[in-house]
């Protein structure tokens, strides 16, 4: 969060290269979980109140709550691109499938049919191509073209500077 504030003070755009995973293991204690949530909240506050351009590249996975901390679509970045292999999901697709099967009341043969159907749907609807077709991102960038696209994005945000004063957020250290 401090780094984000320094970038705001010096008018340096923030570029996120995002490859996040969900947290498979819950924290061992309530205190650890509270500290983790506090750190996420501090980072979300800093990024959402930043007054510099935000450019996000999803280069792997955007799974779990950590992807929201790193200027995902919910933070309204100036640009959000993804690589062709990127996966978008609120949680691990396998875990979602497993949770749906446990919640449902199906029999043995029916469970397999539902599992295949849900897995196929999850595999289709979590791809970068599906997200781009729904305009959830600004496009798909090949890995070898990333540097060129970053340069073009920086040229655009530098040409159209309309930065406001930083929005005040409270960060207690």
| Closest among 169, 99, 88 to 130, alpha carbons compared | 88
167 found inside a domain: no
**pLDDT tens, residue by residue, 120-172:** 888 888 888 998 899 889 999 999 999 999 999 999 998 987 666 656 665 66
**Residue 57 and residue 6 share a domain:** yes
**pLDDT tens, residue by residue, 3-43:** 998 998 888 999 999 998 776 666 678 888 888 888 888 88
**Residue 24 and residue 59 share a domain:** yes
Q: Where are the beta strands (DSSP E) in the chain?
A: 14-20, 54-63, 79-82, 87-89
**Residue 28 and residue 96 share a domain:** no
DSSP-assigned beta bridge partners for residue 18: 58
Overall pTM > 0.85:
no
Percentage of the chain exceeding pLDDT 70: 87
35 found inside a domain: yes
Contact, 89 vs 122, CB < 8 A?
yes
Rg (CA), the chain: 19
Domain count, the chain: 2
Q: What is the mean pLDDT of residues 59-66?
A: 85
**pLDDT tens, residue by residue, 75-103:** 889 999 999 999 888 777 777 777 777 77
């Amino acid at each position: 969060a401090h780094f984000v504030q320094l970038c705001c003070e010096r008018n340096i755009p923030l570029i996120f290269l995002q490859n996040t995973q969900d947290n498979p293991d819950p924290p061992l204690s309530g205190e650890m979980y509270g500290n983790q949530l506090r750190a996420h909240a501090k980072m979300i506050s800093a990024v959402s109140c930043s007054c510099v351009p935000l450019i996000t590249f999803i280069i792997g996975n955007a799974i779990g709550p950590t992807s929201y901390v790193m200027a995902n679509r919910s933070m309204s970045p100036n640009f959000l691109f993804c690589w062709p292999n990127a996966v978008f999901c609120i949680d691990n697709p396998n875990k979602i499938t497993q949770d749906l099967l446990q919640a449902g009341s199906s029999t043995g043969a029916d469970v397999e049919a539902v599992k295949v159907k849900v897995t196929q749907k999850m595999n289709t609807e979590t791809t970068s191509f599906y997200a781009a077709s729904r305009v959830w991102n600004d496009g798909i960038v090949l890995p070898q073209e990333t540097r060129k696209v970053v340069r073009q994005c920086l040229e655009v945000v530098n040409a159209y500077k309309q930065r406001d004063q930083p929005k005040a957020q409270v960060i207690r250290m």
